[in-house]
Structures are given as structure tokens and as C-alpha cells.
Amino acid sequence: MKKTLITKLMAILFAICALPAQTWAAGYTETKYPIVLVHGLFGFDNIGPVDYWYGIPSALRSDGARVYVTQVAAANSTEVRGEQLLTQVKQILAVTGASKVNLIGHSHGGPTTRYVASVRPDLVASVTSVGGVNRGSAVADIILGIAPPGSVTNSVLVSVTNGLAKVISILSGQPNLSQDALAAANSLSTAGSLKFNSKHPEGVPTTACGEGAYQVNNVAYYSWSGAKPYTNVLDVVDPALSLTSLAFGGSKNDGLVSSCSSHLGKVIRDDYAMNHLDEVNQTIGLVNIFETNPVTIYRQHANRLKNSGL
């Protein structure tokens, strides 16, 4: 009797192991509505072989998701970027026939997606902010303090950063997008973020480091972020992020955004052992090998959206 049972169990186990891997994964990321990815400051969709969302879109698509990578101004105000994104969302809806989209924004992409959800909630199923600057960044505050508008230092800095933003737009195939680095810095500052939040408060926590409303105007709000500026000795950007992390005076941050500032709606986690670039699997996948891979986290979130009927 025992032998027969063991034999049957072994046969079942063998049959399961023999199934192709994609059978298990089929539909895992297949959300009801398309997923739209929105980059942050000085971001892009792709420049040559390098994708901003390194390996993420393909991983989501492989198990059923419809994924669209947008390109907004590399540097401009949240409102300008938001209007640019809204135009692309309408185009995506027209192409797919979907009624809504799931927006996922990294860094400045967080408030950019929030803008669209605030002005056109009927077009948005969910907003997910990844390392989003939802309550400003101390780094932007310091830059504006060192180089206040009207100063020679500011003029030089703006000229250089506007030039960089223009080059990024040209290389990514969008030469006509308007660029304004000073407007971007103001939007990402604490004062600028508070002003934006007063007009677009959806999902923003009402306490310093709490959670926001999980759903507003039928739009679901989520967020997650990292809290470890230096994660991989092979990544040449990590030392710079370690330096900028000093701006936060010891509070938890990913090198450019504090953990508390990243909070929006339901906070999935704010302490992944990742820095600001790890959150989008950069630089080219050189992330913390002792933390969950960022691609896996996006897949898990797509499954979360799917299971929520989104």
C-alpha cells in the first residue's frame, strides 16, 4: 500500500517537473489593462541597445502583459511631462482598444503619472510610484540652494543640464520634446512637490511617513522603493549615489529620494536593498546580488495588479 502510494506520488512529481517552464508562468503578468512605463529625470525609453527599464518590459511581456514604454521630456516640470504622457496614454488606448492603463513611474515619473491620474482618472486603472519624488528631494533642495535662480552658477548649471536633456531626447528619437532643467529642479524640490500635491493630492500620505489612500476616483495607488545607495562595486554610478545620499542626513534613502518621500497609496516596501538606479535594473543589470532582482519585483507587481482585476 505504502509502496503504491509512493510510486504514484513520484509519478505525479515527475510529470510536474517534465512540464515546460512557460506552462507555470503563462498569464502570470497578464493584467487586464496595458502597463505603461514612465521614466524619471534625464530618462529615456532606449538609447541604442540600452533600455532605461533594463530587461523589465520583455520579462513582463513574456508572461502575458501588454507593455508600453513612453518617452517624455528628460527634464521639465511635472505638469509639462504629465501633459506629454497624457497624449501618449490616449494614443496607447486608441491602439489597444483598452479603456484604461496601469501607469508605473520611476523617480520623476512618479509624480508625472500622478498628474495624468489626477486630471483624467477615467483613463487610469492604477498608479505605481517606484522611488518616486512624491514629497520632494533634499538633493534638489541643495542644488537650488547652491545655485539659486538668477545666479551665474544657476545659469551655467541650467545651460549644461538643458544641453544634456536635449542630447538624451535626440538620441532616444524625440528631438522635439521641450526641455527645462530649472523647471524640473523646482518640481522635484520640497517646496515644488508640496505645491504640486496641493493640486493633485490623490494617494499622497497625510502624515510624514505614512501610507496614502489606496484608491481615489477608482484609481488604485501603490509605491515601493530602495534604501541602500551603494549596492554593487562594479557599478560606476554607485559612488555618486553614496555621495548624494549624504543630503538626507542619515534618514533612509536610495541615494536620490528618501524612503518617506517615496510613499504613495499602498506602500509595498520602502527598504529594498537597492539604490535609485537598481530600482529600474540599472546600470545594465549591475544590482545588489543579495536582494530580490528588480525584474522579479516588477513581475510580482504585475501579478498583484492582475489579481486585483487591473
Catalytic positions are 107, 254, 276
Question: Residue 253 pairs with which residues in a beta bridge?
Answer: 258
- Name the residue type at position 269: R
Strand segments, DSSP code E, in the chain are: 35-38, 46-47, 50-51, 67-69, 101-106, 124-130, 215-216, 219-226, 266-272
Give the integer Cα–Cα distance in Å for 93 and 279.
27
How crowded is residue 116: how many other Cβ atoms within 10 Å of its Cβ?
Answer: 29
Task: State the sign of the Cα–Cα–Cα–Cα dihedral 85, 67, 39, 210.
Answer: positive
| 150 backbone φψ class: left, alpha, beta (φ>0; ψ -120 to 50) | left
Q: What is the DSSP string of 149-183?
A: TTSHHHHHHHHHHHHHHHHHHHHTT-TTS---HHH
